[in-house]
């Protein structure tokens, strides 16, 4: 069930935004200090291979209704959200530029590959929902390319360059642990960072109006609640994002439990479907 996509004009880096010293978010959620052993003494960033795999499973549960994110390299369809084709492990879109960047990278690394011939068409449809020059042949060739280790590596690298690394780096700069790093990553996957009112940076800026991050002396739980609140507002601006369960019954569940390190076992629901990671 793929219903989430970023807006046109993705950025490859996230810019720090100054915080406004306003009141902390609601204390309706449990603070980790009150939960004793649920907070680990040593905090492992999302860059740890095992933590990163957990993050990919969590995103895949929302993007593909499956924890098997490695099965998504071959995924491609038009979900009728105005962004053309959506494909691959992170939902690269033909209408938003990131699919074009991916196929260009693949062509640089492996000239003459099965997707290279579609580059002119991808350049023409960028910014639109058009399939001109693509169509069923492109879909078939995408699935063929997805069997190639070089194409899988290109998808991994573009995911990290455009989404994972900027999100995690910003979260670490804000003093957030693995859960907060994941919240940023999931946000930039869905909304991108194109500078519009619903982009990652705009969501973060709105959260900073309500609470300080730990890097500025704020409380991590209060700040993450403010961030998730701001994200829900942005999600509801677009029909394709209107179901906020990936916040309400996933990230907020972990936050209420005080699991700021995103340690398994993890149980959650997305769009009503239950998921669990035991280790």
Among 53, 77, 78, 81, the active-site one is: 81
**pLDDT for the residue 27:** 34
Q: What is the pTM of this model?
A: 0.85
pLDDT for the residue 149: 98
Stretch 222-229: mean pLDDT, rounded?
A: 98
Residue 117: its pLDDT value, please?
98
SS3 category, 16: coil
pLDDT at 177 > cutoff 50? yes
Phi, then psi, of 237 in degrees rounded to 5: -75, -15
φ/ψ of residue 277, rounded to 5: -120, 120
Name the E strands within 53-136: 76-78, 85-87, 92-93
Query: Which tens digit of pLDDT belongs to each residue from 42-54?
Result: 899 999 999 999 9
- For the residues 86-100, what does the mean pLDDT come to? 96
Give residue 84's region: left, alpha or beta (phi > 0; psi -120 to 50).
left
For this structure, is 77 an active site residue?
A: no
3-state helix, strand, coil in the chain (%, to 5): 50, 5, 45
Mean pLDDT, all residues of the chain: 88
Question: What pLDDT does 239 receive?
Answer: 77
Pick the more confident residue, 38 or 163. 163
Instruction: Assess whether 250 carries a catalytic annotation.
Output: no
Nearest to 178 by CA among 258, 121, 123, 100: 258
**pLDDT beyond 80 at 199:** yes
pLDDT (0 to 100) of residue 17: 36
Under the banding of pLDDT at 50, 70 and 90, the label for residue 277 is: very high
User: Average pLDDT in the 80-88 region?
Assistant: 93
Q: Which of 81, 27, 103, 101 is nearest to 191 (CA)?
A: 81
| CA dihedral of residues 81, 84, 86, 87 (deg, nearest 10) | 170
pLDDT of 81 reads 86
Alpha-carbon distance of 182 to 57, in angstroms, equals 11
* pLDDT grade for 1, boundaries at 50, 70 and 90: very low
Annotated catalytic residue: which of 45, 48, 53, 63?
63
Q: In whole angstroms, give the CA distance from residue 91 to residue 72.
A: 9
Mean pLDDT along residues 82-92: 95
């Amino acid at each position: 069930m793929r219903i989430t996509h970023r807006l046109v004009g993705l950025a490859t880096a996230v810019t720090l935004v100054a915080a406004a010293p306003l009141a902390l978010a609601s204390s309706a959620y449990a603070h980790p200090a009150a939960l004793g052993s649920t907070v680990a003494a040593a905090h492992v960033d999302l860059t740890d291979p095992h933590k990163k795999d957990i993050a990919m499973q969590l995103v895949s549960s929302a993007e593909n209704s499956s924890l098997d994110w490695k099965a998504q390299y071959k995924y491609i369809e038009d979900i009728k959200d105005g962004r053309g084709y959506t494909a691959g492990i992170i939902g690269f879109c033909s209408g938003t530029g990131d699919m074009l960047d991916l196929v260009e990278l693949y062509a640089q690394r492996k000239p003459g590959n099965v997707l290279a011939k579609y580059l002119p068409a991808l350049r023409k449809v960028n910014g639109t929902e058009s399939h001109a020059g693509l169509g069923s042949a492109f879909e078939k060739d995408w699935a063929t390319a997805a069997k190639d280790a070089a194409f899988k590596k290109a998808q991994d690298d573009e995911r990290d360059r455009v989404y994972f690394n900027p999100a995690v780096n910003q979260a670490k700069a804000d003093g957030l642990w693995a859960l907060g790093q994941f919240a940023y990553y999931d946000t930039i996957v869905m909304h991108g960072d194109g500078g519009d009112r619903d982009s990652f940076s705009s969501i973060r800026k709105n959260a900073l109006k309500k609470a300080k991050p730990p890097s500025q002396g704020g409380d991590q739980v209060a700040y993450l609640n403010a961030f998730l609140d701001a994200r829900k507002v942005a999600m509801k601006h677009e029909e394709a994002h209107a179901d906020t369960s990936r916040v309400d019954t996933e990230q907020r569940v972990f936050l209420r439990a005080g699991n700021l390190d995103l340690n398994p076992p993890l149980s959650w629901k997305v769009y009503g479907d239950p998921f669990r990671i035991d280790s």
